[in-house]
């Protein structure tokens, strides 16, 4: 029978343990499912023979919670959870969120702001001298100087603010095993572990070694006082996120008396390694201690879903995937996914529906071209933007075969795709087999897609294809469903207030909605999160790709007007829509004609 990892001393005694090798601390509830990063890391260490315990959501106001499992023999592993703690705690309007899907009962308020910093401080207080290793999304995207939207300033590397020993960026499996190996060896030898030089990690040093061969970034003092220098630094970092081409980076701080050193990214997992990681003995649910509070809401979407790939060569400006997982796509074998599906279907709660088979982009199952696995992703070029690269390999056959095999399993009634389809990539496929079967078998009446905007200048800032590509996809989708005799719809997502979007572009989008008789039910406000190209644009008002100035809507009023224009039919937005139209000199759209957005009264 599969067991959860120890969460208290009683669990340790039941296993006959005197001490844990590693104690993992997470701001999420303990969910032992491979969609949770800490579950993967803890199970992988366990599989390598280490004794691993887990502390979730401890009271951060006292170090007592960090003593729940005693002093770890090798290290504390600390993560803020599956998302940045500031994003989890606050809306884009900087207001406290009402709920937290990663918390017991979905209740907010259980995690501190900047959890990596707070948790490391408590760990140090609880047990002095125990190494602290930071990982997870929050640490990964704040590994060097970064713009912090909530403070509205540039903050230095979270490694320095947290005073941790080392920071793991990216997915972390390769790094944590190497760190564990070095810590174990140093423990046996009685000397301090040398954790430098590990791919996919960041560490601090008082100086650069004589044989160091990398890129010296602008200093923290420079990027925190000069937006232009910040944009320059970000462009260098963005160009070095590839494990093949990436070079070591060093960022001076404290007047040059310290350096934050980023080693090149870790290589992506091989297919065999990927399979192994996702077939570790997860219980695939939340810990029973949350049952009385109603469980953990986040499990509902992933419990009966399958992760088939990692990485994304889409490179949208507002997405941090390039910084975190990289542009080179890796995938699991079909055999591994089928084994997981069979195990999943044996769950008494399984009703015959696999909710999703995907990853960052569902229909990416292989690198964009044959060069990437050997030479890495091309620097200064994107695979799909502004036009698909001539070397792009478009092939849905492997993904289609996987979906067919999953659908043929005895207990499976339906296999859905919910993690998103990259429609511009799909439109490049001359073989319609996948498109037809997508519409016929893998949609539950609606397909979510993300055109994001229609204005050429906004789409260019976003790194998205021309709107004409979406229009062609829309027609093809409608024609395919008509041919199949199905009434299925597209649910397009649009972003409000993205860099590059002025009132003229926002009104252009509102007119598009008017002509299509479409009102978006949900509007996504642009959220400048660390590690994204768009956040760099937001702070600097410079597009780091070109070095040119870019318009950025920053004031609360302007962002509110842009958001209101996307839902101009809502009576609550009336005053803001009129204000926006007057400010833009588009008062002709206030009237009674068929092309007007809003009536005078």
**Residue labelled with tokens 């009237």:** 591
The single-letter DSSP state of residue 227 is H
CA 572 vs. chain centroid, Å, equals: 33
Q: Which two tokens stand for residue 424?
A: 């511009």
Taking the C-alpha atoms of residue 279 and residue 336, their distance in angstroms, rounded to an integer, is: 8
Taking the C-alpha atoms of residue 313 and residue 94, their distance in angstroms, rounded to an integer, is: 31
Largest interatomic CA distance in the chain: 83
- Name beta bridge partners: 259: 205, 252
Half-sphere exposure of 100 (CA within 13 A, CB side): 24
Taking the C-alpha atoms of residue 252 and residue 261, their distance in angstroms, rounded to an integer, is: 9
**For residue 347, what are the CA distances in angstroms to 1, 135, 399, 417?**
13, 31, 25, 20
Alpha helices in 127-172 (DSSP H): 137-141, 158-162
Taking the C-alpha atoms of residue 562 and residue 555, their distance in angstroms, rounded to an integer, is: 11
Please tell me the predicted confidence (pLDDT) of residue 113. Answer: 97
Taking the C-alpha atoms of residue 576 and residue 98, their distance in angstroms, rounded to an integer, is: 25
Taking the C-alpha atoms of residue 119 and residue 106, their distance in angstroms, rounded to an integer, is: 21
Q: Which two tokens stand for residue 322?
A: 């390039």
The single-letter DSSP state of residue 156 is -
Q: Which two tokens stand for residue 10?
A: 């009683």
Q: Which two tokens stand for residue 167?
A: 């920071």
CA 93 vs. chain centroid, Å, equals: 20
> Which stretches of the chain drop beneath a pLDDT of 70?
1
Q: Which two tokens stand for residue 162?
A: 């947290």
The residues, any chain, with a CB within 8 Å of residue 363's CB and separated by 6 or more, are: 396, 399, 421, 422, 425, 426, 434
What string of DSSP letters covers 488-546? -EEEEEEEES-TT--HHHHHHHHHHHHHHT---S--EE----TT-HHHHHHHHSEETTT
Burial (Cβ within 10 Å: 0-12, 13-18, ≥19) of residue 408 = exposed
**Residue labelled with tokens 């996809």:** 473
What are residue 108's phi and psi, to 5 degrees? -85, 170
- Asked if residue 377 has a cis previous peptide bond (ω within 30° of 0), the answer is no
Say if strands 446-452 and 489-496 run parallel, antiparallel, or are unpaired: parallel
Task: Report which secondary-structure segment, H or E, holds 371.
Answer: none
The single-letter DSSP state of residue 97 is P
Q: How many residues does the chain have?
A: 601
Say if strands 153-155 and 146-148 run parallel, antiparallel, or are unpaired: antiparallel
Taking the C-alpha atoms of residue 532 and residue 254, their distance in angstroms, rounded to an integer, is: 25
Strands (E), 353-461: 353-354, 356-358, 414-415, 446-452
Strands (E), 508-598: 524-525, 542-543, 548-549
Handedness of CA 448, 449, 454, 459 (dihedral sign): positive
Taking the C-alpha atoms of residue 335 and residue 322, their distance in angstroms, rounded to an integer, is: 28
Taking residue 403's Cβ as centre, other Cβ atoms within 10 Å add up to 24
Please tell me the predicted confidence (pLDDT) of residue 547. Answer: 95
259 and 268 Cβ atoms separated by less than 8 Å: no
Burial (Cβ within 10 Å: 0-12, 13-18, ≥19) of residue 142 = buried
* Helices 173-189, 37-47: crossing angle, 10 deg rounding: 50
Please tell me the predicted confidence (pLDDT) of residue 188. Answer: 84
258 and 204 Cβ atoms separated by less than 8 Å: yes
**Residue labelled with tokens 């479409």:** 518
**Which domains does the chain show, CATH number per domain?**
9-198 (3.40.50.2300), 446-601 (3.30.750.200)
DSSP 3-state assignment of 283? coil
What are residue 563's phi and psi, to 5 degrees? -65, -45
3-state secondary structure 162-206: HCCCEEECCCCHHHHHHHHHHHHHHHHHCCCCCCCCCCCEEEEEC
354 and 416 Cβ atoms separated by less than 8 Å: yes
Please tell me the predicted confidence (pLDDT) of residue 1. Answer: 66
């Amino acid at each position: 029978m599969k067991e959860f990892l120890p969460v208290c001393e009683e669990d340790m005694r039941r296993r006959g343990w005197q001490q844990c090798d590693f104690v993992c601390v997470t701001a999420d509830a303990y969910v032992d499912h491979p969609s949770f990063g800490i579950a993967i890391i803890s199970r992988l260490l366990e599989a390598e023979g280490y004794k691993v315990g887990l502390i979730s959501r401890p009271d951060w106001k006292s170090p007592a919670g960090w003593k729940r499992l005693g002093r770890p023999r090798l290290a504390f592993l600390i993560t803020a959870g599956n998302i940045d703690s500031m994003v989890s705690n606050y809306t884009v309007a900087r207001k406290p969120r009402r709920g937290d899907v990663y918390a017991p009962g979905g209740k907010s308020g259980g995690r501190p702001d900047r959890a990596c910093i707070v948790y490391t401080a408590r760990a140090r207080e609880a047990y002095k001298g125990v190494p602290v290793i930071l990982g997870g999304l929050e640490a990964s995207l704040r590994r060097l100087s970064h713009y912090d939207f909530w403070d509205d300033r540039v903050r230095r590397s979270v490694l320095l603010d947290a005073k941790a020993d080392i920071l793991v960026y990216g997915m972390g499996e390769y790094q944590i095993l190497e760190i564990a190996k070095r810590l174990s060896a140093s423990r046996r030898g009685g000397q301090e572990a040398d954790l430098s030089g590990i791919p996919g990690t960041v560490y601090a040093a008082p100086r650069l070694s004589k044989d160091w061969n990398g890129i010296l970034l602008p200093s923290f003092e420079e990027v925190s006082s000069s937006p232009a220098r910040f944009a320059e630094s970000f462009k260098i970092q963005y160009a070095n996120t590839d494990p093949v081409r990436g070079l070591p980076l060093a960022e001076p701080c404290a007047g040059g008396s310290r350096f934050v050193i980023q080693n090149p990214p870790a290589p992506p997992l091989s297919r065999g390694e990927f399979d192994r990681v996702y077939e570790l003995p997860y219980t695939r649910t939340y810990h029973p201690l949350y049952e009385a509070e109603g469980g953990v809401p986040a499990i509902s979407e992933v419990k009966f879903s399958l992760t088939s790939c990692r990485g994304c060569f889409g490179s949208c400006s507002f997405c941090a995937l390039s910084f975190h997982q990289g542009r080179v796509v890796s995938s699991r074998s079909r055999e591994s996914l089928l084994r997981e599906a069979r195990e999943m279907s044996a769950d008494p709660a399984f009703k015959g529906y696999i909710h999703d088979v995907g990853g960052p982009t569902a229909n990416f199952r292989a690198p964009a071209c044959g060069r990437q696995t050997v030479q890495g992703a091309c620097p200064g070029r994107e695979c799909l933007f502004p036009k698909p690269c001539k070397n792009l390999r478009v092939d849905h056959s492997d993904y289609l075969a996987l979906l067919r095999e999953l659908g043929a399993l005895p207990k499976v009634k339906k296999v859905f795709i919910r993690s998103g389809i990259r429609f511009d990539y799909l439109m490049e496929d001359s073989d319609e087999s996948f498109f037809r079967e997508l519409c016929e078998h893998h949609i539950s009446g609606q397909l979510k897609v993300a055109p994001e905007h229609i204005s050429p200048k906004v789409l260019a800032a976003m790194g998205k294809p021309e709107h004409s590509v979406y229009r062609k996809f829309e027609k093809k989708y409608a024609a395919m469903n008509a041919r199949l005799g199905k009434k299925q719809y597209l649910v397009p997502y649009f972003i409000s207030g993205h860099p590059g979007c002025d009132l003229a572009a926002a009104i252009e989008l509102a007119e598009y909605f008017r002509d299509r008789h479409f009102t978006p039910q949900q509007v996504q406000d642009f959220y400048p999160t660390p590690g994204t190209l768009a956040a760099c644009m937001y702070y600097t008002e410079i597009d780091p790709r070109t070095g040119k100035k870019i318009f950025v809507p920053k004031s609360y009023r302007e962002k509110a007007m842009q958001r209101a224009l996307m839902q101009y039919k809502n009576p609550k937005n009336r005053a803001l829509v009129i204000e926006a139209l007057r400010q833009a000199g588009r008062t002709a759209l206030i009237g009674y004609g068929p092309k007007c957005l809003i009536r005078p009264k």
